[in-house]
Structure 1
Amino acid sequence: MSSLATYQADFSLAGRCALITGSSAGLGLEIARAYAAHGARIILNGRDAQKLQLLAESLRSQGAQVDLWPQDLGDLPALDASYDALCKRVGTPDILVNNVGIRLRSRLQDAAWDQIEQLLHVDLLATLKLSKLAAQAMLAAQTQAGRIITLTSIAGPLARPGDAIYPVAKQGLSGLVRSLAVEFGGQGITSNGIAPGTFATESNAALAQDPVKGPLVVGRNPLARWARPDEIRAAAVFLASPAASYVNGHIVVVDGGFSITF
């Protein structure tokens, strides 16, 4: 019979190294904090090196092990050399959280083509390329129990007028979760996703404050409120932990029940 300490250890990330993309704010930062609290060495990613440095200093003052990767993931040609340099500098991450993304709320006929390309470039192609690089590095390093966790969205399988492009990218990420799971599961790397609902983050501030759309979101949700950013933590820790060793190719929905109502 397992001891109670064994059950607790199932949720420990001690000795692990986790790269969380887009972790200078919002859900990415919440996930990074949670991983650090559970014992992982974390790598913060963003485009603003100064902001990352300030966050790192704050987290280190609380006992966290923190490294930085100030890299624009939208710069696809630079990713190969940049990720290789990161692995050589801090070691190969055995946990990758694909969180980075941009948002465009627009009707298809109103969106400029360069806006559409940029969203797909950052939200889908950058995640695909980084996942490929991360999996290759994990295999080369003979990583045990590698994890790739991708933030999709309830806006993948769902759609609504006036928001035409974002669901295309997010549904693509759902397919990526499954493809990676089948491709690498037998080699010790699992792939899973988290589909957040309506979280009160910086990127959703305008929607939350909209006098018409904000209350509609609350009214649609069985919990009758927006999610707090810290409510993403439990799913992220679980999927990265030993407790999720037999979970592969699935997407955990964290939306308060929003996507089950009609």
Structure 2
Amino acid sequence: MNAVLRQFDLSGRTALITGSSAGIGLALAAGLAGAGARVVLNGRDAGRLEQVAAKLRTAGALVETAAFDVTDGAAVTQAVARIEAEIGPIAILVNNAGMQRRAPLEQFEEAHWHELMKTNLDSVFLVGQAVARHMIPRGAGKIVNVCSVQSELGRPNIAPYTASKGAVKMLTKGMAIDWGPHGIQVNGLGPGYFKTELNRALVDNPEFSAWLINRTPSRRWGDVEDLVGAAVFLASDASKFVNGHILYVDGGVTATL
């Protein structure tokens, strides 16, 4: 392996990926494992995590699981401490856990607002802080927060989601500012429109799908595998002087009106 490729090698590093039992989180976990990392899958359903982990292990990946609620501060602190003690120091954190709810803003329920903010924003703060407290004494670490094209752009009926992802973008920058002096790089990964369970209703809507494809310079939906290269870059030494940046993987959606 030449010197350039070695920068992307994640061998010997432990990566925690939140919300990684399906969709983008699972694709990112598989990608980091393919680059050599030992990945720790996270979700609230321990049984589902073990099923996914078994499939990844069959493919040769080094996989552990950690079932905990990323919106519960005490549970997060305990889980991160256990991973550090029993699996290994967390060198890479991918804050991926998220959810979506669609409704006209004037009809959006207050309970759903708080649920969405806890899942999309509070979790990034809670898990990021808990992991950073271990990274700081080591003087090194990589944190990748999954943002969205909605960190920049709005769409009808998703104002709370847009607010949450805009906040994740700015929290990412704040983390980079506060933790950069400790050798930690914190960046955002901003997916465009991808074929996932979260977007199933949109994928199955012919009118929306046609509009999106015509709106996207690359003229297609994203496949979750399209995110892997960017994630490995942000998790690796190849990005050691990239900090506070949001890397949009969107087929060009944010580049055009």
For residues 202 and 9 of structure 2, what CA distance do their matches in structure 1 show? Answer: 36
CA contact (8 A) 1:23 1:32 kept: yes
Give the 3-state SS of the residue equivalent to 2:40 in structure 1.
Answer: strand
Match 1:222 to one of 189, 195, 217: 217
Calculate percent identity across the aligned residue pairs: 37
Q: Which runs of 5 or more residues in structure 1 are unaligned?
A: none
Superimposed CA distance per residue, residues 96-145 of structure 1 (whole angstroms, 9 cap, x where no aligned partner): 000000101222111110000000011001111110111001124x153x
Match 2:56 to one of 49, 59, 80: 59
CA contact (8 A) 1:83 1:133 kept: yes
2:223 matches 1:234: no
* 1:27 equivalent in structure 2: 24
4+ residue runs of structure 1 moved beyond 6 angstroms? none
The more displaced of 78-87 and 97-106 is 78-87
* 1:44 equivalent in structure 2: 41
For residues 55 and 25 of structure 1, what CA distance do their matches in structure 2 show? Answer: 8
CA contact (8 A) 1:41 1:64 kept: yes
CA contact (8 A) 2:71 2:126 kept: no
* 2:175 equivalent in structure 1: 180
Amino acid at match of 2:136: L
Question: What is the TM-score with the length of structure 2 in the denominator?
Answer: 0.96
- The 5 Å alignment of 1:139-158 reads 139-140=136-137, 142-144=138-140, 146-158=141-153
Superposed displacement of residue 85, structure 1: 2.2
CA contact (8 A) 1:94 1:143 kept: no
CA contact (8 A) 2:136 2:179 kept: no
Superimposed CA distance per residue, residues 54-74 of structure 1 (whole angstroms, 9 cap, x where no aligned partner): 111121222211110111213
Aligned length: 257
* 1:171 equivalent in structure 2: 166
Match 1:131 to one of 119, 123, 128: 128
Amino acid at match of 2:163: V
Amino acid at match of 2:69: D
Question: What is the TM-score with the length of structure 1 in the denominator?
Answer: 0.95
Superposed displacement of residue 86, structure 1: 2.5
CA contact (8 A) 1:24 1:44 kept: yes
Match 1:161 to one of 137, 156, 163: 156
Superimposed CA distance per residue, residues 135-169 of structure 1 (whole angstroms, 9 cap, x where no aligned partner): 001124x153x100001001112112222110100
CA contact (8 A) 1:20 1:99 kept: yes
For residues 77 and 118 of structure 1, what CA distance do their matches in structure 2 show? Answer: 18
